[in-house]
Amino acid sequence: MEVARLHAFFRKHQHVALDTCIFIYQWEGNPHYSPVTNLIFSSIEHSSVTAVTSTITMTELLVHPYRTDDVLKTNELIALLSTAQAAEIRALYRLRSPDALQAATAVQARASAFITNDPVFQRITKFETLILDKFV
């Protein structure tokens, strides 16, 4: 993991937007990504870095627990935020989530960077995109 590069990134960008995958990797304790996501969330929690995410994130996070009927995980996530109906509809109908909503949230919040693992966001010139895979 390239800790120094990530710290340099956060010195350059004090207000960032986080894609859903960052939360999923953290929530699931993904062994490949969690060392980096731990550092990301620690930087947000313990420094002047602030972060935003779209409401679509909660919808995305709830899809898997609804599909697998994991009531405990569903209730834990609902306790964080309440967008359960949108997530349930997404789970039931297997709708594709709009990356544009994530990008729009970042732009609206004047985030100078977007942290994701989806290279599609590199096309957007309104912010710099950090691809998580480049740090593991």
Decide if 136 contacts 1 (C-beta within 8 A): yes
What whole-number distance in Å separates Cα of residue 64 and Cα of residue 52?
22
What whole-number distance in Å separates Cα of residue 12 and Cα of residue 31?
27
**Is the pTM higher than 0.75?**
no
Decide if 9 contacts 130 (C-beta within 8 A): yes
User: Average pLDDT, stretch 30-59?
Assistant: 89
Q: How many CB atoms lie within 10 A of CB 134?
A: 11
Q: Which residue has the higher pLDDT, 71 or 124?
A: 71
Per-domain boundaries in the chain: 1-97
Q: What pLDDT, in 10s, does the model give residues 45-81? A: 888 888 988 878 878 888 888 999 999 888 777 666 5
Q: Looking at 53-135, which runs of residues are DSSP E strands?
A: 113-116, 128-131
